Structure 1
Amino acid sequence: MVFNGTDNYIVSEQLRLAVNAAITLEKPLLIKGEPGTGKTQLAEELAKALDTELIQWHIKSTTKAQQGLYEYDAVSRLRDSQLGDERVHNIGNYIVKGKMWQAFEADKRPILLIDEIDKADIEFPNDLLQELDKMEFFVYETQQQVAAKQRPIVIITSNNEKELPDAFLRRCFFHYIQFPTREEMEKIIDVHHSDVKATLLREALEVFFDLRELNGLKKKPSTSELIDWLKLLIADDVSQEVLLDKDKSVVPLFGALLKNEQDVQLLEKLAFMSRRKS
């Protein structure tokens, strides 16, 4: 299994090496990077490239590690016992398989995505150490040992909202997705908007990277937001002259790039000061 990117997903050489190293070592690949840099999409495109199943476990602040293994539905069993249902005599009928159990049972080596692991409680990663290391767990209700038919390829994403435990990090192959360079960004855009005019693309990238370099910006625009913005510019047939119009207080259709009023006010202030100087 070797990953070289796909027609819809451009990978840097460093990311390509990281993915293939994790596959070879049979270790989870821990991916960090700015929101919007394609961490989740990596797992989706990897599954397509390897023609295998993608099992997605999206983590929330309330998610517990046990939910990824299985859950015992005691409420349903109590209800069935009150109704005299014969299913109640087999406790296995009330064991709900989690995403990791599904991945362990797959006939073909699947991709298991544990998405945004840093959203969960700090103990969440530690609670999965044994399962990710040994690729097996015990079901106490049925006295059953569940082991993976083959090790799934595990992709774990994090937005760095909180630090992950050292014991967990030791079991992962780590890669930080650097923000794309201008040249890499052009390749990414070509995948999504191959019909964009060269002049519009050049000026849009100029505005985009200038925005990212602004001091005091609360949230820098991401790759996915640039793609959305270009889609709007193309749809509205915005010319490159409009992007460079100094009389404008902010860039056109800025809502695709700037996501809070503080950043909009900063841009308006800078535009006002620029007009006064000219």
Structure 2
Amino acid sequence: MKFASTSSYIASEDLAVAVNAAVALQRPLLVKGEPGTGKTELARQVSASLGLPMIEWNIKSTTKAQQGLYEYDAVSRLRDSQLGDARVNDVKNYIRKGKLWQAFEAETRVVLLIDEIDKADIEFPNDLLQELDRMEFHVYETGETIRAKHRPVVIITSNNEKELPDAFLRRCFFHYIRFPDIDTLRAIVDVHFPGIKEQLLTTALTQFYEIRETPGLKKKPSTSEVLDWLKLLLAEDLAPEDLKRDGKASLPKLHGALLKNEQDVHLFERLAFMARGRG
């Protein structure tokens, strides 16, 4: 099984190599990159490309590693025992399987996405070391050991909000998704908007890269944001001349799709004001 670009996802050559290397090594693939560069979508496309089911574990700031294995609902069991419910005789009735358990017991190999691992506390990655290494864990309440029937393809994403432990990094194959160059971005746009007029696309992408390269920008617009912007331009039936700006510093049409905070909007407004003053 080899991963490559799909009809709806353009994967660079080095990204495809990273995915296939992680699969061959049977190690988790740790993917970093700017928000909006397709890290989560990568896992879905790997699942589709390799013909494997996908299990998605979305990490929050409150997520604990144990939740990925299982959770024991002691409160419900206590309540049922007070009510005389016969279910209390089997502790398995109060075990809720986590995403790792689901992946381990799947009848076929699956793609397991652990999305935005850097949102959790610093101990979260370390708490998963043994389970991801050995592909097994112990259920203390029942005394059983859960072992993976088929080793899942594990894809872990991070937005680099915090550093991950060295012991965890050592067990992963790492890839950083660089922001695509203009030729790759054109190919991505062609997948989503086939037949878009060349002059409109050239004008829009030129403006987009000018915005990304503006010094002092707090949040650079991403791939997903340029796709949203192009969708709006097409919906409004704008022509290339409609995108004309009064200098590189002025705000682009429908800038709310590209600039996502007031600091960046004010930056362009200040730059435009200074440009007019110099004029």
Give per-residue Cα distances to partners, 1:82-132, cap 9 Å, x unaligned.
221111100011000000000001111000000000000000000000000
- Please, which moves more after superposition, 79-88 or 245-254? 245-254
Give per-residue Cα distances to partners, 1:31-55, cap 9 Å, x unaligned.
0000000000000011111121110
Q: Tell me, in whole angstroms, the C-alpha distance in 2 between the residues paired with 1:206 and 1:195.
A: 18
> How far apart are residue 195 of structure 1 and its match?
2.9
Q: Is the 8 A contact 1:246 1:275 kept in 2?
A: no
Q: Is the 8 A contact 2:245 2:251 kept in 1?
A: no
Give per-residue Cα distances to partners, 1:156-210, cap 9 Å, x unaligned.
0000000000000010000000110000000000011113211110010011000
Q: Tell me, in whole angstroms, the C-alpha distance in 1 between the residues paired with 2:99 and 2:124.
A: 15
Say how many residue pairs are matched: 278
Give the counterpart letter for 1:211 in structure 2.
Answer: I
Partner in structure 2 of residue 165 of structure 1:
165
TM-score (norm 2): 0.97
Q: Tell me, in whole angstroms, the C-alpha distance in 1 between the residues paired with 2:206 and 2:275.
A: 17
Partner in structure 1 of residue 19 of structure 2:
19
Q: Tell me, in whole angstroms, the C-alpha distance in 2 between the residues paired with 1:179 and 1:11.
A: 12
User: Is 2:11 the partner of 1:7?
Assistant: no
Give the counterpart letter for 1:214 in structure 2.
Answer: T
Partner in structure 1 of residue 145 of structure 2:
145
Partner in structure 2 of residue 271 of structure 1:
272
Partner in structure 1 of residue 111 of structure 2:
111
Q: Is the 8 A contact 1:18 1:175 kept in 2?
A: yes
Q: Tell me, in whole angstroms, the C-alpha distance in 2 between the residues paired with 1:270 and 1:182.
A: 25
Q: Tell me, in whole angstroms, the C-alpha distance in 1 between the residues paired with 2:230 and 2:51.
A: 31
SS at match of 1:231: helix
Q: Tell me, in whole angstroms, the C-alpha distance in 2 between the residues paired with 1:194 and 1:150.
A: 39
SS at match of 2:3: coil
Q: Which runs of 4+ in 1 moved over 6 A?
A: none
Partner in structure 2 of residue 261 of structure 1:
262
Give unmatched runs, 5+ long, in structure 1.
none
TM-score (norm 1): 0.98
Q: Is the 8 A contact 1:62 1:120 kept in 2?
A: yes
Give the counterpart letter for 2:256 in structure 1.
Answer: G
Q: Tell me, in whole angstroms, the C-alpha distance in 2 between the residues paired with 1:165 and 1:178.
A: 22
Partner in structure 1 of residue 244 of structure 2:
244
Partner in structure 2 of residue 46 of structure 1:
46
SS at match of 1:125: helix
SS at match of 2:128: helix
Partner in structure 2 of residue 199 of structure 1:
199
Q: Tell me, in whole angstroms, the C-alpha distance in 2 between the residues paired with 1:97 and 1:5.
A: 33
Identity %: 66
Give unmatched runs, 5+ long, in structure 2.
none
Q: Tell me, in whole angstroms, the C-alpha distance in 1 between the residues paired with 2:271 and 2:207.
A: 13
> How far apart are residue 277 of structure 1 and its match?
4.0
SS at match of 1:124: helix
User: Is 2:75 the partner of 1:75?
Assistant: yes
Q: Is the 8 A contact 1:116 1:156 kept in 2?
A: yes
Q: Is the 8 A contact 1:5 1:46 kept in 2?
A: no
> How far apart are residue 242 of structure 1 and its match?
2.1
Give per-residue Cα distances to partners, 1:218-249, cap 9 Å, x unaligned.
00000000000000000001121122231894
Partner in structure 2 of residue 217 of structure 1:
217
Change in 2 beyond 3 A, CA 1:64/1:161: same
SS at match of 2:31: strand
> How far apart are residue 81 of structure 1 and its match?
1.0
Partner in structure 2 of residue 89 of structure 1:
89
Give the counterpart letter for 1:208 in structure 2.
Answer: F
Q: Tell me, in whole angstroms, the C-alpha distance in 2 between the residues paired with 1:221 and 1:88.
A: 54
SS at match of 1:113: strand
Give the counterpart letter for 1:116 in structure 2.
Answer: E
Q: Tell me, in whole angstroms, the C-alpha distance in 2 between the residues paired with 1:57 and 1:97.
A: 12
Give the counterpart letter for 1:179 in structure 2.
Answer: F
